[in-house]
Amino acid sequence: MKKLSLEELNRMDVAAFKKAEKSPMALVLDNIRSLNNIGSIFRTADAFRVAHIYLCGITAQPPHRDIQKTALGATESVDWSYVENTQQAVDNLRNEGYQILALEQTDGSIMLDEYQPVRGLKHAIVLGNEVKGVQQKIIDLADACIEIPQYGTKHSFNVTVSAGIMLWDIFLKLK
């Protein structure tokens, strides 16, 4: 085996990405505080051609040096907007036909490996604050809460890891 060069990867440029068909997924970042986490989520969203990212509450907006450091240009390819109030973003997405999924541990969570996204529906995934998680008022608005099964001693993943696991799983199931 030989490691591929950047040229051999044959990746599309930003203009081609903008025109390409997107996954039926959007992300809602509910008060994400770390600029590095925001950038990493942009980069992961680019990999799975997420349709849009909604930055809500205290979630910082590009351009910012620390976001750019981890996004590696994905803030230019992935469409995004800022909505001050997470509930407003969720309400808007619901009105656009999105199913609202909160990635959170709740008493009624569906384990990710058991969750089956519905083909033909658009999915908005709400990711919560690194310490407090998704706000309860947003959980109350969700169509479902999805939980990633864990088998170690810790009770949570980093939000960027959670985003990657969730996006990959839904992407595969919808493919």
- Is residue 14 included in any domain, yes or no? no
Q: Which residues contact 3 (CB under 8 A, 6 or more apart)?
A: none
Average pLDDT, the chain: 97
- Is residue 2 included in any domain, yes or no? no
Nearest to 90 by CA among 28, 162, 25: 28
Beta strand pairing call for 80-83 and 110-111: unpaired
- When pLDDT is averaged across residues 28-47 and rounded to a whole number, the result is 98
Q: Which residues contact 14 (CB under 8 A, 6 or more apart)?
A: 73, 76, 77
- Is residue 149 included in any domain, yes or no? yes
> What pLDDT is attached to residue 107?
97
> What pLDDT is attached to residue 52?
98
- Is residue 16 included in any domain, yes or no? no
> If you write DSSP's letter for every residue of the chain in order, what string do you get?
--PPPHHHHT---HHHHHHSPPEEEEEEEES---HHHHHHHHHHHHHTTEEEEEEETT---SS-HHHHHHHTTHHHHS-EEEES-HHHHHHHHHHTTEEEEEE---TTPEEGGG--PPTT-EEEEEEEBTTTBS-HHHHTT-SEEEE----SS-S---HHHHHHHHHHHHHHHH-
> What pLDDT is attached to residue 124?
98
- When pLDDT is averaged across residues 34-43 and rounded to a whole number, the result is 98
Nearest to 45 by CA among 169, 173, 163: 163
- Is residue 11 included in any domain, yes or no? no
> What pLDDT is attached to residue 20?
97
pTM of the model: 0.97
- Is residue 50 included in any domain, yes or no? yes
Q: With pLDDT > 90 as the criterion, what percentage of the chain qualifies?
A: 99
Contact 171, 151 (CB under 8 A): no
- Is residue 159 included in any domain, yes or no? yes
- When pLDDT is averaged across residues 146-153 and rounded to a whole number, the result is 97
Confidence of residue 120 (pLDDT cuts 50, 70, 90): very high
Domain that holds residue 92: 21-174
> What pLDDT is attached to residue 70?
98
Tokens of 117: 């996204």
Confidence of residue 5 (pLDDT cuts 50, 70, 90): very high
- Is residue 112 included in any domain, yes or no? yes
Confidence of residue 121 (pLDDT cuts 50, 70, 90): very high
Domain count, the chain: 1
CB-based burial label for 174 (10 Å; 0-12, 13-18, 19+): middle
> What pLDDT is attached to residue 42?
98
- Give the model confidence (pLDDT) of 76-96 as tens digits: 999 999 999 999 999 999 999
CATH number of the domain to which 53 belongs: 3.40.1280.10
